Amino acid sequence: MSECTLREATVADQSAIMDIYNDAVLHSTATFDLDPRTWEVQQQWFQQHRPPHRIFVATLGDAVAGWGSLSPFRPKPGYRFTAEDSIYVHKDFRGRGMGAALLGLLIEAARRGRFHSIMALIDGDNTVSVHLHERFGFRHVGTFPQVGFKFGRWLDVVHMQRVLE
């Protein structure tokens, strides 16, 4: 992980962020989106992440190898002190600790942003993400069985939460 740099995402990172996300859309159940994100949707999504919501990237040299975000958990104002985290690492760079580095950075950003808790909604088969979140103090708070459908099969969603001190 020493060769990796973590930083706040810039407008110039949007294309790489979108490419990593769209690969997950097409080849994984990390997201339940079925269609790749368009450039217009990517730009809207990026603009919605003004502080306290944030986007960070992990870079190797000049390449964006992964990204993480804190997004609104739900749109209603009563949820304003809860964020949802997302972490995506390019398939060629997985297993190098970038996901852990990004999650640690997201937790610190959530504290600075005065969030009370962070939610993670994870495909029930994604044990790597579940274990990563457990390592960072997230607790399993529920499973919604068979609420997603992708690649011809029903998918569970594991809800995990970290209450910030």
Which CATH number is 4-119's, of 3.30.420.40, 3.40.630.30, 3.30.450.20, 3.20.20.210? 3.40.630.30
What are the residue boundaries of the structural domains of the chain, listed by start?
4-119
In the block, tokens 């269609």 appear at 35
140 and 159 Cβ atoms separated by less than 8 Å: yes
pLDDT at 3: 83
Residue 165: its pLDDT value, please?
A: 78
38-66 pLDDT tens trace: 999 999 999 999 999 999 999 999 899 99
| Cα 66 from chain centre | 10
What's the CA gap between 88 and 34, in Å, rounded?
A: 16
Mean pLDDT of 111-116: 97
Structure confidence at residue 2 as a pLDDT band (50, 70, 90) = low
What pTM does this model have? 0.95
